[in-house]
Amino acid sequence: MLKCGNMKSVADNITVLSNEPMSGHTSWRAGGLARRYVRAKSLSALAAFIATLPEDEEVLWTGLGSNILVRDGGFNGTVIATQGLMTQLELLDETTVYVGAGVADAKLARFCGRHQLSGAEFFAGIPGLIGGALAMNAGAFGGETWPLVVAVETLNRKGEITKRQASEFTYSYRHVAGPKNEWFVSATLKLKKQEQSSGAVDIKRLLARRAQNQPIGAASCGSVFRNPEGQYAASLIEQCGLKGRRIGGAVISVKHANFIINDNNASATDIESLIKLMQHEVEAKYGIVLQPEVEIVGDALPGEQQS
């Protein structure tokens, strides 16, 4: 278990925070300490820093912290904060967009709308950055990230940036596989030209639908579970009578059963316990094992079990 005692060092456009509470960097507002939390002022500075890390150092990249839960015992590795980095966003030709991994998904949706490009509207409903969307093939409203991808740039442990074609990766629902120990820096996307300037209208319609059906503004990670094939996780959880169920400060949303809300200073343990309860109840009733969409990392507190 990591102990409090935050220290800060700054060198060569890199800021390193020691024993940094991850509760301040995740949308769940919960979680233990990161042994090292790193911010860089430039991609070149980050690449140089990455190259200094030991080969066995566990590295976690985070953007807005909207799809991660750090256990209360903390993360005994290095967290790379990408917010504010890799923010390039430009039109390469009439239907091709270059987007950095640090660009907010919603910003990409608006950019494409302004340039009368269709296919990226669904990004408006994803509360994260493009890097995370690439890593998990994020999607919403029936759209997914990787069908749009032509090429990507990645950064490896040696600090080297490589351009790769989309064909070098395989993807499926909320899953992407490709070269090991590489992290996404950017993507080149291919979209379609709209006949009329309706992108802004489409985005507003999708956001209104999201606000109606999801607990927007509450401390959550978005959807906790992937949808099983042919099923909806929220429906299965609701049919188990779990809406409103609480463990400590964590509660299953009464508005959308696939959301867990930090309602009252929930610990990461409270949230993970509720995740396990949802899995147990759905499997007991339907024989379906729900797979988390959220990434759970780090160590449990002494005396607690971790899955």
Catalytic site includes residue 229: no
| Shared domain check, 142 and 43 | no
| Shared domain check, 66 and 121 | no
Mean residue pLDDT of the chain comes to 93
By the 8 A CB rule, do 102 and 85 touch?
yes
Of 223, 245, 272, 281, which is the active-site residue? Answer: 223
Is the model more confident about 280 or about 203?
A: 280
> Is 303 a domain residue?
no
| Shared domain check, 114 and 167 | yes
pTM of the shown model = 0.90
> Is 209 a domain residue?
no
| Shared domain check, 150 and 54 | no
| Shared domain check, 240 and 147 | no
Q: For 191, what's the count of Cα atoms within 13 Å in the CB-facing half-sphere?
A: 33
Letter for the amino acid at 131?
G
> Is 208 a domain residue?
no
| pLDDT 10s digits, 243-295 | 999 999 999 999 999 999 999 999 999 999 999 999 999 999 999 999 999 99
| Shared domain check, 15 and 65 | yes
Give the closest residue to 203 by CA, choosing from 112, 133, 130, 131.
112
| Shared domain check, 264 and 175 | no
Element at 184 (helix H, strand E): strand 182-190
Q: Domain containing 290 — which CATH number?
A: 3.90.78.10
Residues 100 and 168: their CA atoms lie apart, in Å, by 19
SS3 12: coil
Residue 160 has pLDDT above 60, yes or no: yes
Of 36, 71, 174, 245, which is the active-site residue? Answer: 174
Residue 260's pLDDT is 98
| pLDDT 10s digits, 72-97 | 999 999 999 999 999 999 999 999 99
Q: Domain containing 157 — which CATH number?
A: 3.30.465.10
How many domains does one find in the chain? Answer: 3
By the 8 A CB rule, do 161 and 185 touch?
yes
> Is 186 a domain residue?
yes
Q: Domain containing 29 — which CATH number?
A: 3.30.43.10
Residue 199's pLDDT is 60
Residue 307 has pLDDT above 60, yes or no: no
By the 8 A CB rule, do 249 and 263 touch?
yes
| pLDDT 10s digits, 5-17 | 565 655 679 999 9
Is the model more confident about 174 or about 203?
A: 174
Residue 252's pLDDT is 98
End of a domain among 146, 178, 201? 201
Catalytic site includes residue 293: yes
Percent of the chain with pLDDT over 90: 84
| Shared domain check, 30 and 49 | yes
Residue 201 has pLDDT above 90, yes or no: no
Q: Which domain holds residue 68?
A: 7-81
